[in-house]
Structure 1
Amino acid sequence: MARQPKVGISLSPRSASLKSTQQRYTLVYVLADFSAACIAYTWLYDYRKSVVEPARFGLESLEWDAFYPIGMVITALLWLSTMALIGLYQGLLRKSRLTEVRRLTQALAVFVIAYFLLFILDDYVKNYRAYWGLLQRFGGGLLMTSVAFRLALGGHIRWRISQKHLHFATLIIGEKSLIETYEAKVRKHADASGEVLAGWISTSNHKENAPCIGLPLLGTTKEINHWVSKLNIEDVVIALPQEEHYKLTTLLLDLEQLGLRIFMFPDTYGILSGMVRLDEHGVPLMEWHNEPMDSWQRNSKRIADLALSAAALLLLTPLFLIVALLVAGSKGPILFKQDRLGRQGKVFQIIKFRTMIAAAEAQGPQLSSTNDARITRIGSFLRKYRIDELPQFWNVLVGDMSLVGPRPEREFYASQIIERAPQYRHIYKVRPGITSWGMVRYGYASSVDEMIRRMEYDLLYIENMSWHNDLKVLIYTAWTVLKGRGK
């Protein structure tokens, strides 16, 4: 039976001790993968020296040369980079071992093929079967050692969870009678996954007094933020009857902002409609995925952002100098900086070339409009071709923004939008962008109503994020710039 903690006890990886545990396991996994790559490379190198090269030169087994340690380290670093790119060092305390092996095998297949084409294919062999021998030793060796290390480490983590050395504070949120119906499933999931049930939150507007499945009532959904912070909550389990599904959108928006792992116990309609999958412990459970892209897409998108923004800043330096001289012709600073809301609602300073007079907002926040008298002559040209946005490549380089993503807004306007359209908070899942689907399909907004309409395109983008769609947005943006459709 899952243990029930007293209110106020720190239980989850958000606490310092378990965060350090996660860091230690990450280091151990990195060392294990480094060792696996070194072992696989050693088998590959030995086969080269004992079989491939003697067959070529007609000699006995050749001596190993000074390149062996260099090649081994390079191979290991490439393997670690591949593992990091696809996210195999994330969430190490919560991984399914079977899922881990599947993803590892897929990554290894791509890695070995790429390694073969880059480093092995140019080897001279007397018989092409030698290539198969090289692949067997390298790919097979890397697979066996990596899987063995990861299964062993995963097994050790599962043992620690079963012994209650690792646990994750969990809130149950929902309607009392439905939670009681799901009690056996809730406790089975909690015991198997290391969750410690801290209490339950009622979705009723009025505060109840009775405990539920032996858990203390902590309050209503209005008090979630308080209890998540007080108890260091890591997971939440939602149990809402079908007639209360209208509450789900707002509830999920609130929980997403807290960075929690979210599970939902579905009703009969959800099961019949095929929306439910079995979790790794055999409990019918639906996990809400907060990230719109998987790890390798998200990491590769960030790598592309870094490479392209660095190249743009370097190549566009002459243009920046020319624009700076032109902007300096009017009174005021060359660069315009303003606080905007980024990923997870974090405030950052967006950078642009100044296109308005220095005291453009002396009377308070004001959106630009067609034929806006505050826009300078050179500013009008910069806006038309969106040259004023180019300094934001620096925002991309430092990690505040991405090349493609929802346009960031000021808190003054964001609060008005959220009040009227709470789903707007979904855009905080991702980094804001220099350009966006909303910008290319709708354009600039001169009122909160127009901001909300443009937001619909950005939400559609977030739900369909991919390399393909990013490329599409960039192509549309280039066409918009060339036609001078900026404002």
Structure 2
Amino acid sequence: MIRLFKHYIPHAVLLLGLLDFALLMISGELGWIVRARQIGMDFGPFADRLVPLLIFSVLIQTAMISVGVYGSEALRSMRYATARLLVAISMGIIALSVVYFLVPSHTLWRSNLFYAMFIAMALLFAVRLLLGGLLGTSAFRRRVLVLGAGQRADRLRALGERPESGFAIVGYVGMTEGPHIVEEAISRSAIHNLTRFVENLGVSEVVLALEERRNALPLKDLLRIKTTGVHVNDFSTFLERETGRVDLDTVNPSWLIFSDGFSSGRMFSSALKRVFDVSVSTLILAITFPVIGLFALLVKLDSKGPAFFRQTRVGLYGEPFAVIKLRSMRTDAEAGGAQFAQENDPRVTRIGRFIRKVRIDELPQAWSVLKGEMSFVGPRPERPEFVSDLEEQLPFYAERHMVKPGITGWAQINYPYGASIEDSRHKLEFDLYYAKNYTPFLDLLILLQTLRVVLWHEGAR
């Protein structure tokens, strides 16, 4: 994997993304040439079209990222990739039309876009047909040796067997005597020279998956392996990188303290984030005011009660604040006390079911963002009634309140909607990853991927 702004990107995804960008540039240029020939115009120097071509390529590829073209499913399924590509290119052309209206001198002509769009479709589909079977092969997977043969090693085996996995386990070494869960593991005593064994297998990374480190940590072996240029990782760090979450089953306070993350150099990033929040929330409130007003009226007509409701949530540093949303449930929804939302929740009204799916009920929260109580990106704020119980049952739950809550977040785009303690545990793992690895780049990635969640109703309930 390549680490970009503290976030890991698989080699296959990065390669495909760079190739797509080059193909989009070529598509824009070919579209220009076709149209120029059609009207008998001279092509002109390429440098004169560089900025319009870059705008074309960047907007189309941004749309591709937004709808999930580079997700694991799209890399394995041509049908899935085709659907996402069609939507992405359509959205990109709409965005380009807006840019053309605003700055016509810096974009391709609309007649060029027509040709460029179909050429781009053909080239992007072709490269996926040619490379689709190659991207998931061992050529793009790191060769990993696991030191350990217990439950942790077995978890790594299950993770490595997933089709979207970016690594292949080439062997297991049982570092302690006794029965092993991973039966094919080779006993450490049977290996004369572990460093030579690693070299002979062509291993690129060694993962320490010991159940108990006390008196079992092979420091001498690990040092020699490390000095030969092979990466050495502990179990928790490896899982964080491969899954995009902090594994609560194995992580401990010392790992959180000494591992990379929770950078103190966030002053500039936080200021940039606040400027973005104020600017965009103001724009959203101005643009969506008629939409909010219309659906507020529909909510009133659909069921008795106010159009909006205020609910206390836990914010930054555990401070409570009131969040405002369009009402999507009956007014007696919590007559028996606070409770999690459920799938096909009978308390949701007819209009409420629609506005939840398309996230219109979330629009008034832009006011909380403007006030500074929330951000656009961050862990979803939870209710105080649930927080007290969750802090008792889930380790490190309070740490998610060290960053400002958000309308969307890393957990929302990676984990389907859930309403149980186990679901809260999984979402907390993603929230901790976000708090630990926050950068403006990760915020941008989350904002783009939120569009995928909205378009395909992933996680909405």
Q: Same fold (TM over 0.5)?
A: no
Bigger CA radius of gyration: 1
TM-score by length of 1: 0.41
TM-score for the superposition, normalised by structure 2: 0.43
